[in-house]
């Protein structure tokens, strides 16, 4: 069994409902949910919007290969109304599901890069990941989460949902 870390995010409509539906769908397709962070509130990253995000890191034990995990994540996003804009652009979304890591695998393919190539730049990824997997070491940078958080240049206000 592999250990895969996913991050879910939503900033449209009933964010909690979308995130809970995503968890249900992921559990039925990916594997056993073994960890779940608090929900964190953050501003949009990389674009302007008045809609704040809810984000949560989920840890799954899976028998699926990384490309199959990605396939299910994309399918679940689509089922929950995610509309993708052009490549590389950011926009508000009902649900976003990204793979943060897959064991200690380093993968750089056209459609899948693991670990997530921008996670170390985003506090909304690092803080909930630290909550559920504090001993994780980034396999590319060979740094722990305390180091990555301390050196993250993201100055966004991130808070836990009460």
Is 98 labeled as catalytic in the residue annotation? Answer: yes
Query: At 140, is the secondary structure helix, strand, or coil?
Result: coil
Nearest to 36 by CA among 46, 51, 26, 50: 26
Kindly list the distances between the CA atom of residue 146 and the CA atoms of 4, 110, 129, 132, in Å, as whole numbers in the listed order: 20, 30, 11, 13
Is 93 labeled as catalytic in the residue annotation? Answer: yes
Active-site pick, 93, 103, 150, 154: 93
Active-site pick, 98, 122, 154, 160: 98
Q: Tell me how far apart the alpha carbons of residues 129 and 134 are, in angstroms, rounded to a whole number.
A: 7
Q: Tell me how far apart the alpha carbons of residues 77 and 148 are, in angstroms, rounded to a whole number.
A: 28
Active-site pick, 96, 104, 118, 122: 96
Active-site pick, 29, 67, 68, 82: 82
Is 67 labeled as catalytic in the residue annotation? Answer: no
Residues marked as catalytic = 82, 93, 96, 98
């Amino acid at each position: 069994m592999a250990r895969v870390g996913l991050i879910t995010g939503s900033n449209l409509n009933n964010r909690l409902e979308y995130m809970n539906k995503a968890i249900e769908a992921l559990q039925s397709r990916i594997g056993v949910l073994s960890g779940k962070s608090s929900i964190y509130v953050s501003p949009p990253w990389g674009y302007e919007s008045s809609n704040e995000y809810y984000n949560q890191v989920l840890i799954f034990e899976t028998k699926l290969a990384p490309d199959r995990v990605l396939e299910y994540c994309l399918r679940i996003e689509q089922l929950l109304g995610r509309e993708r804009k052009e490549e590389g652009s950011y926009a508000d979304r009902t649900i976003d599901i990204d793979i943060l890591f897959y064991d200690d695998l380093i993968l750089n393919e056209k459609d899948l890069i693991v670990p997530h190539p921008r996670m170390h730049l985003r506090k909304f990824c690092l803080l909930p990941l630290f909550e559920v997997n504090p001993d994780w070491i980034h396999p590319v940078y060979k740094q722990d989460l305390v180091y990555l958080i301390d050196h993250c240049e993201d100055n966004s206000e991130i808070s836990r949902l009460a």
